[in-house]
Structures are given as C-alpha cells and as structure tokens.
Amino acid sequence: MKFIANHLVTIHNLSTAEALVLGEMAGLDPALVYDVIADSAGSSRMFQIRGPMMVTGQYDEPTATMTTHLKDLDIIGKFAADLHCPTPLFNTAVQYYYAGVAQGRGSQDTGAVCAVLEKLAGIERKG
C-alpha cells in the first residue's frame, strides 16, 4: 500500500506544480490559482498540502526530501516493473524529481518539483 500511495504522491505533486506553473505562465498569481483550485473538483490532497509551499516557493523545511523520495521512486518503479504493470504517468513524473536533485534541490521538500518546472518555463521568482 505504501508503494501505491507514494506512486500517487509522486504524480499529484507534479500535477500540482504543473497547474501552478501553467497559471503563472498565463499571468495569474499562484496564490489565486491555489485559492480557487484548493476546494474545487480539480484539487487533491497533495495540492492542498504542497500547494502553499509552491505558492511561496519555500521548500527548505521538508516533510520529504527530493533525495529520499528518489529512493522510494526507484523501489516503486522496480515493484511495478516486476509486476509488468504500465505506469506511464509515474515514469514521466520521476524524471522531474531526478532533475530537481540535479539542480541542487536534493535536501528540499518534494514540492520543489514546482521550481524545476518554473526553471524549465523560464520563470524566475522574485525574492
């Protein structure tokens, strides 16, 4: 069950980041995007938990670090492969966590996957 739960956490963190970055690229304030989506049908528990840190861009008080999460991702990936279970969303999401560690964000919360997408989008946070 832990593998399945962390599989979803991985995807939902990235989808939260993607939605917030999409909003930023559209010129919307991330706080507004969070406030509107948090109680909507499009929300998720990870949106509600990690969304606020993504809005502020503060990832230095981790509940789960990017580096620790990579270990879980490797275990989950092997588990799924051993079962011959297709995991296309998970497999795609994993790459952004590896990119976060490569960017020096290994000790930050997994919510820093938002900063990874922002960097790819050319968004530079103020402050």
- Residue 78 catalytic? no
Q: How far is CA 123 from the centre of its chain?
A: 16
**How far apart, in whole angstroms, are the C-alpha atoms of residue 124 and residue 112?**
14
**How far apart, in whole angstroms, are the C-alpha atoms of residue 34 and residue 101?**
25
Q: Which of 2, 78, 119, 126 is catalytic?
A: 2
Rg (CA), the chain: 14
Element (H, E) at 95: helix 88-102
Nearest to 106 by CA among 66, 72, 52, 76: 66
Residues annotated as part of the active site: 2
